[in-house]
Structure 1
Amino acid sequence: MKIQNPVLHGFNADPSMIRVGDTYYIANSTFEWFPGVRLHESKDMVHWNLLPSPLSTTTLLDMKGNPSSGGIWAPDLSYADGKFWLIYTDVKVTEGAFKDMTNYLTTATDIKGPWTDPIRVNGVGFDASLFHDDDGRKYLVQQTWDHREYRHPFDGITLTEFDTDTMKLKPETARTIYDGTDVKLVEGPHLYKIDGQYFLFAAQGGTVWTHQEVVSRSKTLDAHSFETEPGDPFITNFDTPDLAIQKQGHGALVNTPGGEWYYASLCGRPWHHDTESVTDPRGWCTLGRETSIQKVEWDDQGWPRVVGGHGGTVEVDAPKDAILTEAPANGDQHDEFDTPELNLEWNTLRTPFNAEMGSFGDGKLTLIGKRSLASRYDVSMIARRWQAFNFDAETKVKFDPFTYQQMAGLTNFYNDQHWSFAFITWDEKKGHVIEVGENNRGEYTSYLKDDAIAIPEGTENVWFKVKARTQSYTYAYSFDGTTWHDLVTLDAAVLSDDYVLQTYGGFFTGAFVGLAAVDYSGYDQPAEFDYFDYKELD
């Protein structure tokens, strides 16, 4: 078998990979999307199955009001003492000098839960991980944030002992074990003990084209005791611009039962407009930061090296002892909303799906119109990741608005400042109409205006479709579900990390497609969705 990178398509950033027995698990960041932390499992590293997310209640995660790209940053999954340990960060401030955050710990004996109520750990820095030493002691390893304008904000990697009797850190033991290199922005630390030495894997260079992972090692956990791997970084694509996968860096190391080694990393797959150079800009990653896996070997000096060079490869040999895993061939999804629980692919913004947002069952989803898609509070929307560059998604909606402040339909969404929406609304002259709007860098544009499509009197339902074709995506509508009419074609780059980065510091997620109902008039007008269908064409 061969690993085809990326192994997790669409927004699956900051992978924390572990092995328990013959099974591999990956935990990924989810930022402002609920539920928190995305989990997958596999026995062959090739085929992966989605598991229930651990942070599925407001007891474990309360993100109301969080900024876009705040929330869950770089969770760390580990296994020790017969249970899973999950360290996660809830970031409340993303812009400016401060990164107000809280690191939490929860545990479970079963990866599918239940997970214990969270223990507040600290707020020293993000990207925290838990290291279980072979002498029974445990340590929190984390990026350290410095708000002072005359210092670099990334103040090295801090190690602090964790007392399992009190389930609290011992702050008096805190020390900086690694400062990173002159590349700066050292973050995402994971610590391992291999053949009697401590190896620290850490990301640098920012999670963009200059991203990289460096390795350092030490015989002790003393302050400033770690030396950096000589030569090139462990992994980077800064100098491999022609490779299909880019941005590799932040990730985690794992060994197989047979003694092979692999490294899971975030990555991005850029594309270009036909009019653009293939090197500048390097491209647009509408699928966000995905997960790749590279094979690792050890050189004669005892340092880990990525097989195929520090840029990695798209195709990688699977473990020799891999156990074939049955998993979906692609991300296709058809939802009739007739089950007691929402499909695991659905996500909501900041808060869980609840009765105030709507209901589902008996073959329909009802969304109660709430605030606009530009809001950080009470957004009535369910959405799923774009996991292919080319796909079709469609739905059927019934909605009876009586003001232009009410809208319901199909959305493609990056964050509160970058999204589009094809929807039913009310027009003073035409009555019920179809409109398409886009929020681009916070500036809203109505595309149809006076040419909004009048919905014929007596028409009960409207079908909406989006056709994504790498560089662009097109909205279409139908009054019978068979005959379709195109509406507006939009630039897909607007929904990419790389575009958002140009004007906004929170650029860590990826494009989503979903269903939404807006009623900022405050009258809670409901919309009924009959089904949702997502079909990949790649």
Structure 2
Amino acid sequence: MSTLTNPVIRGFAPDPSMIRAGAWYYVATSSFEWFPTIPIHRSRDLVNWEFAGHVQHAVPGGSLSGVPDSGGIWAPALSWDGRRFFIVYAVVRSLQMSYFNLETYICTADDPAGEWSEPRRVAGHGFDPSLFHHEGRLWLLNLQNDHRPGGNRFDGIVLTELDHDTFRPIGETRMVFQRDMEHERFVEGPKLLHHDGWFYLLLAEGGTGYEHGVLVARSRRITGPYEADHRPLLTSRDDPSQPLQKAGHGELVRAPDGQWFLSHLASRPVQTARGPRCTLGRETAIQPVAWAADGWPRLKHGGWHPAVHVEVPDPPGDRDGAADPPPVHAADEELPGWPWSTLREPVDKTWSDTSARPGWIRLRGRHGPESLWGQSLLAQRITEHRSRVEVTVDAAPTTYTQAAGLVLWYNTEAYFTLDLTWTEPATERQNGQQWRNQGRTVLTLTTRDRHGTRIEATRQIPAGEPVTIGADIDGADARFWMRRNGSECPIGPVLDFSELSDEAGTRLRFTGAFAAIHAVDLVDGAFTADFTDFRLTASHASDD
């Protein structure tokens, strides 16, 4: 036996959909407004996970420009019919409106780490779709949304049979599970499995926050009616002291030796004066499951709270007769690859270049950090509560409309930037006439949160010299610094890093915090900045 530590995929890896194909487990997670779209990880032992690729063509047209923060690709569901891999997902175009403006797509592949087909749109009724393969037939599950005044946004779970080749509906759509919204928690994220003569419907219950959970319903017939269990399979809602909070959105998988495991999302909050806040977003966790005598699945360790440490079987030596999948595809040498991510569009050589200066990444400045369109930003997920990030930047800004530097990022309404930029001479007020004089090269620390945008500090530095800048994160605190003559000099005050969290905003937030580099040019998009020695490291992860 081996022991895994939850979360197994750490830092912004929500809505995990886990399957097993032969000797390998695969997990697909939501990507929302980020590229690469629909990251996929794989493992042979449930303990050690590696990035295996992503669904390259998930977004028709290749762009999510204009989608709101936490819009984009929600809750992909991965499946395998023994021959082909399938993934179904929704592209969400609006948020917190009565209408769910979205499209539902299916892609297929021979290998989930390889090339995926172009997306094919299917008739979907809401977000969180999933596919169920049974006795040669293909079924689509969806959330039903009633957008009309007085209607329920979470109106129940519907089931539609699809043609296996064309994905067109066969027969009528059926409502298979519905709850009284006045007295019960709403459900979403449906997943189906067949076990011991029963069809089991796994449901995400109670939203994505601290009330989240996994509910199970079952029926002898695929079309229902489904009877709900009297208790949750998984939740943390009744115990705020649990280290894994927001536990929910589950999927059951059977191991080669017959044991069962539940993949689910969870969060590790930090405690603040304003309550718990989840800066790392929602992450992927795994729990062992056993079947009770009455036929309901139960957590193997008892109760319904998620465990941090879980024993799992060692992988079989014969690997189920399955060959190893091909190695992960190498990234384009001229473009940064995983773990780098980009906002609303894939990384592109027109604004990101690794060939212009060996050992450096050159970014061409584009929109500012509040844009929903063309940002030149490369980011990596922050995976632990204690982290350090640093980078050396070389640029020559000549106007305040040009900037380049380090970003701690949640979304367009929550970020901190330490930028190499330009400002007026010390004797001159801010007057917007940068073309009249040479001004000063400075590092400017700017914060953006629910209280607005503020300049926290400005530090003049020599023009024309590379500068190493960084930030240290310790729970709810973040401090920026610059390195000069081998010493680190703090810049600005200690910042409230918990403002870059799921809970801190006035709107729904579904992603997580990133460390990033970016370049801005608001005039003509010609300004460039070079970056090298980017390092994002975590420490004391065992204490989290």
Decide: shared fold, TM above 0.5: yes
The answer to whether structure 1 residue 455 and structure 2 residue 461 are counterparts is yes
Residue of structure 2 in register with 1:303 after alignment: 296
Question: Are the counterparts in 2 of residues 294 and 313 from structure 1 also a CA contact under 8 Å?
Answer: yes
The answer to whether structure 1 residue 428 and structure 2 residue 431 are counterparts is no
Residue of structure 1 in register with 2:487 after alignment: 483
From the superposition, tell whether residues 227 and 165 of structure 1 become closer, same or farther in structure 2 (CA, over 3 Å). Answer: same
Residue of structure 1 in register with 2:448 after alignment: 439
Q: CA deviation at 1:185?
A: 2.5
Residue of structure 2 in register with 1:87 after alignment: 88
Aligned-partner SS, 2:156: strand
CA distance in structure 1 between the aligned counterparts of 2:401 and 2:414, rounded to whole angstroms: 19
Aligned-partner SS, 1:294: strand
CA distance in structure 1 between the aligned counterparts of 2:314 and 2:179, rounded to whole angstroms: 34
Alignment of 1:245-260 (within 5 A): 245-260=244-259
Question: Are the counterparts in 2 of residues 36 and 61 from structure 1 also a CA contact under 8 Å?
Answer: no
Q: CA deviation at 1:356?
A: 2.9
Residue of structure 2 in register with 1:529 after alignment: 531
CA distance in structure 2 between the aligned counterparts of 1:497 and 1:10, rounded to whole angstroms: 12
Unaligned runs of 5+ in 1: 326-336
Aligned-partner SS, 1:493: helix
Residue of structure 2 in register with 1:63 after alignment: 64
Q: CA deviation at 1:169?
A: 2.4
* CA deviation profile, 1:39-92 (whole Å, cap 9, x unmatched): 111111111111111235754743111111001100000111411101121100
The TM-score normalised by the length of structure 1 is 0.91
Question: Are the counterparts in 1 of residues 58 and 107 from structure 2 also a CA contact under 8 Å?
Answer: no
Question: Given the alignment, which residue of 479, 504, 507 partners 2:507?
Answer: 504
| Percent of aligned pairs sharing the same letter | 35
CA distance in structure 2 between the aligned counterparts of 1:323 and 1:529, rounded to whole angstroms: 45
CA distance in structure 1 between the aligned counterparts of 2:270 and 2:316, rounded to whole angstroms: 32
Aligned-partner SS, 1:513: strand
* CA deviation profile, 1:197-226 (whole Å, cap 9, x unmatched): 110000111110101110000111235x00
Question: Are the counterparts in 1 of residues 361 and 531 from structure 2 also a CA contact under 8 Å?
Answer: yes
Alignment of 1:128-527 (within 5 A): 128-134=129-135, 136-170=136-170, 172-180=171-179, 182-222=183-223, 225-230=225-230, 232-273=231-272, 276=273, 281=275, 283-307=276-300, 308-319=302-313, 321=315, 339-361=333-355, 362-429=358-425, 430-441=439-450, 443-448=452-457, 452-457=458-463, 459-480=464-485, 482-488=486-492, 489-500=494-505, 503-505=506-508, 507-527=509-529
CA distance in structure 2 between the aligned counterparts of 1:312 and 1:323, rounded to whole angstroms: 29
* CA deviation profile, 1:424-461 (whole Å, cap 9, x unmatched): 1111214111101011127111112xxx211124x421
Q: CA deviation at 1:180?
A: 4.0
Task: Give the residue type in structure 1 aligned to 2:177.
Answer: Y
CA distance in structure 2 between the aligned counterparts of 1:460 and 1:53, rounded to whole angstroms: 38
Aligned-partner SS, 1:302: coil
Aligned CA-pair RMSD: 1.9
Aligned-partner SS, 2:270: coil
Aligned-partner SS, 1:464: strand
Task: Give the residue type in structure 1 aligned to 2:461.
Answer: I
Aligned-partner SS, 2:398: coil
Q: CA deviation at 1:16?
A: 0.2
Question: Are the counterparts in 1 of residues 132 and 193 from structure 2 also a CA contact under 8 Å?
Answer: yes
Aligned-partner SS, 2:186: coil
CA distance in structure 2 between the aligned counterparts of 1:323 and 1:484, rounded to whole angstroms: 51
From the superposition, tell whether residues 322 and 207 of structure 1 become closer, same or farther in structure 2 (CA, over 3 Å). Answer: farther
Task: Give the residue type in structure 2 aligned to 1:462.
Answer: V
Q: CA deviation at 1:524?
A: 2.5
Task: Give the residue type in structure 2 aligned to 1:514.
Answer: A
Equivalenced residue count is 509
Aligned-partner SS, 2:499: helix
Question: Are the counterparts in 1 of residues 126 and 142 from structure 2 also a CA contact under 8 Å?
Answer: yes
CA distance in structure 1 between the aligned counterparts of 2:89 and 2:364, rounded to whole angstroms: 31
CA distance in structure 1 between the aligned counterparts of 2:389 and 2:532, rounded to whole angstroms: 14
